Amino acid sequence: MPAGFIPPHGNYRELLSFQKTEIIYDATYEFCRRFLKKGDRTIDQMVQAARSGKQNIIEGTKASGTSKETEVKLLNVARASLEELLADYEDFLRVHKMGMWGKDSKQAIFARKLGEKKDGVPATYENFREFIETRPADTVANIIICMIHQANYLLDRQIARIEQDFLKEGGIRERMTRARLDARKQNKAEDQN
């Protein structure tokens, strides 16, 4: 029996982009708890932007089997939410007169390495916990900024890949048409035998 026209989809937990955004959400929650005053509206904004980045990857991936358009839209929403969160961290550093790490600084390189797979196991919040929960605000903000840049890069690649797959394979309508035509051919061949 040939495979159906709805491809396997929805395994968001395997996506590096999702794994990074889950860390970003947890780290943002902790950052806000530690460094922003209770009642500050920025807390809700930042936590919701981090959550939106993560949740839209989940929703987009789950919709991917039947709608590449929905998947791309939701991944772009995730990307936009992370960009908003990035601006919040940059604003925090700027208004508190704290420095931002350069992309190639030893601190940024160290932060990126924290997020790498080790022995094939993806990084989780546990890789970052010691730093997020004990270091000063500027260090924590910069670590999270590094993670946001990584997640944005991964989302950009993921969206580009979806575009290429769509051009090569089409969407649900094309797959449905191909499946129906293949079924007709098979029925015709069976009728002739």
Stretch among 31-45, 48-62, 172-186 having the lowest mean pLDDT? 172-186
Q: Output helix, strand, coil percentages for the chain, rounded to the nearest 5.
A: 75, 0, 25
CB neighbourhood size of 183 (10 A): 11
Q: Phi/psi of residue 4, each to 5°? A: -70, 175
Angle at 79 between CA 36 and CA 102, to 5 degrees: 65
Contact indicator for 50, 167 with CB cutoff of 8 Å: no
What whole-number distance in Å separates Cα of residue 26 and Cα of residue 132?
10
pLDDT tens-digit map of 176-186: 566 666 677 77
Q: Pick the closest to residue 67 from 59, 15, 81 (CA basis).
A: 59
Residues 6+ positions from 112 with CB-CB distance below 8 Å: 146, 150
- The pTM score is 0.84
Position 97 pLDDT exceeds 60:
yes
CB neighbourhood size of 65 (10 A): 17
pLDDT tens-digit map of 98-144: 999 999 999 999 999 999 988 889 999 999 999 999 999 999 999 99
Give the residue with greater pLDDT, 169 vs 151.
151
Contact indicator for 48, 99 with CB cutoff of 8 Å: no
